[in-house]
Amino acid sequence: MSSSFTGMMEKWLNNEKSQTDKASETTSQSEESTQDKSIVNQLNQLNQDSLADDDIKVSKLSSYQFNTTKLGRGLSGVNLTNNQNKDSESVDNENINRKNTKKDNGGGSMPKFEMDRLFITWLADMNSSLVISSYKTHRLVTIGTARDPKNGENKSSIWLTNFNRPMGIHTSKDKIWISSSGNLWGYENAGPEIDNVHFGKYDASYVPRFAYFSNDVDTHDICVDQDGSPYYCSALFSCICQPSDTHSFKVFWKPPWISKIAAEDRCHLNGICSRDGTPRYVTSTCQGDVRGSWRENRIGKGIVFDIKENKIVCQGLTMPHSPRWFNEKLWVLEAGTGWFGYVNFETQELVKKVWIAGYLRGLAFVNEKYAVIGSSEDRHENCFQELPLGETMKKNNVTAKCGVFVIDLEDYTVPHNIRFYSPMDELYDVCVIPNVVRPKIAQFSDDNNMRKYKIDHGNYADDN
């Protein structure tokens, strides 16, 4: 362990009891329209629920491997497991105290997050867990819960796995598909794994079983068909792809407005979802057919397209993302405006339900009642100023938030959220693993997995 890192940890430990900066945010109510008032009310409620000083729960996620024997016992309320694999690590928070929430600058800083005080209880009640991709920090963040055997309370369990620029994710209890720069990874649930450090066990341990080397095609969303086979958006080649054993990819579908499969990111085709086990709906920023044309056609030119019926089902959107079919509705995130809603197939319009201060990407649903949405900050400080999203934030005196927001689909309120801080200021996808409360996603290079076997005995099952 380097002396600089040791010094940094000693400084952290010595300052553990120091008073924290209070997280406070303000919103100003606009009297100009009912829509503005609705936005402000949502923000005020969100700030009151999740950012009140006494309610903040914050944890620092480190990019280093910690030895709990030497360091972990000195961290008040935070346990860091001693992983032999440096590329993935676990953070289990027994009593997450308030920490300094100032943003850190520089590539080596520790990502931090905060959550409202009831988020973990909600996640445990849902009997589910979350998987979040953070492509700028090259990490997959898995958030689950565990019950403390000492007092029966629900605690957060965070597992970090390194990938090279992870983007789209598709999850189920049995399998997870993950896209990264040049690869499509297939992970299988190998069953529970004993945890001798904290709360007994992980109820699902996902290990790599498939790896398709597609070259860097700028993979975005992933969906699967009724057989579990993956399909994914290549924004670079403006098409929907399938994995190939002999080529970089196989073209499954090409938009009718695209004249040629070329590495030119012509329309920024980014989202896809299945309906009834068939890949069905895609989102595109525009219908351009020249290199990078979407960059000049971001506002109001976005569409949702039905690839089965070969027709537009929603138009006039600004940078739509993350189409998802759920409860007989097609839900969409309009990233360029900050709106979450569903498609009116008759009018081809987006029925706007909830506004969030951030660039929205990543949408999943939990237990028929809740939506979970990913949000990112402004990457260039002035990028949002050219979008309706930036205008709305300026009018309401708010800034973009990076985090995950829980939406109650009965009254369209925001009861829970997690907020991430620099350098984790952009997310791409958010997925839910149903009926798994404490997952672990292994690094493909983890030596610990090399001697963990799951055998299909075939005709010799009776001999074992």
pLDDT of residue 334 exceeding 60: yes
Lowest mean pLDDT among 58-67, 224-233, 311-320, 353-362: 58-67
In this prediction, residue 383 carries a pLDDT of 57
In this prediction, residue 338 carries a pLDDT of 96
In this prediction, residue 107 carries a pLDDT of 27
Contact present, 50 and 416 (Cβ < 8 Å): yes
Most confident by average pLDDT, 137-141, 214-218, 428-432: 428-432
For residues 244-273, average pLDDT: 97
In this prediction, residue 95 carries a pLDDT of 34
Would the pTM count as exceeding 0.85?
no
Lowest mean pLDDT among 139-153, 217-231, 342-356: 139-153
In this prediction, residue 385 carries a pLDDT of 63
Nearest one of 323, 319, 317 to 347, comparing CA atoms? 317
Pairwise CA distance, residues 158 & 431, whole Å: 15
Secondary structure of residue 3 in the 3-state scheme = helix
Residues 6 or more apart in contact with residue 205 via CB below 8 angstroms: 189, 190, 191, 192, 193, 439, 440, 442
Phi, psi of 164 (to 5 degrees): -80, 100
Q: Which one has a higher pLDDT value, 337 or 380?
A: 337
pLDDT tens, 81-110?
323 333 444 444 433 333 333 322 222 334
pLDDT tens, 106-121?
223 346 889 999 999 9
Phi, psi of 384 (to 5 degrees): -75, -15
Structure tokens given for 194: 């004993």
What would the DSSP string read from start to end of 50-64? H--GGG-EEEEPPSS
pLDDT tens, 276-328?
999 999 999 999 999 999 999 999 999 999 999 999 999 999 999 999 999 99
For residues 220-233, average pLDDT: 97
pLDDT of residue 415 exceeding 80: yes
What would the DSSP string read from start to end of 86-117? TTEEEEEESS------PPP-STTSPPEEEE-T
Residue where the block lists tokens 């988020």: 119
Q: Which one has a higher pLDDT value, 383 or 158?
A: 158
All structural domains of the chain with their residue ranges: 56-166+182-208+428-447
pLDDT of residue 153 exceeding 50: yes
pLDDT of residue 78 exceeding 70: no
Q: Which one has a higher pLDDT value, 52 or 303?
A: 303
pLDDT of residue 72 exceeding 90: no
For residues 244-259, average pLDDT: 96
In this prediction, residue 462 carries a pLDDT of 74
Nearest one of 21, 41, 45 to 33, comparing CA atoms? 41
Most confident by average pLDDT, 45-54, 313-322, 387-396: 313-322
pLDDT of residue 438 exceeding 80: yes
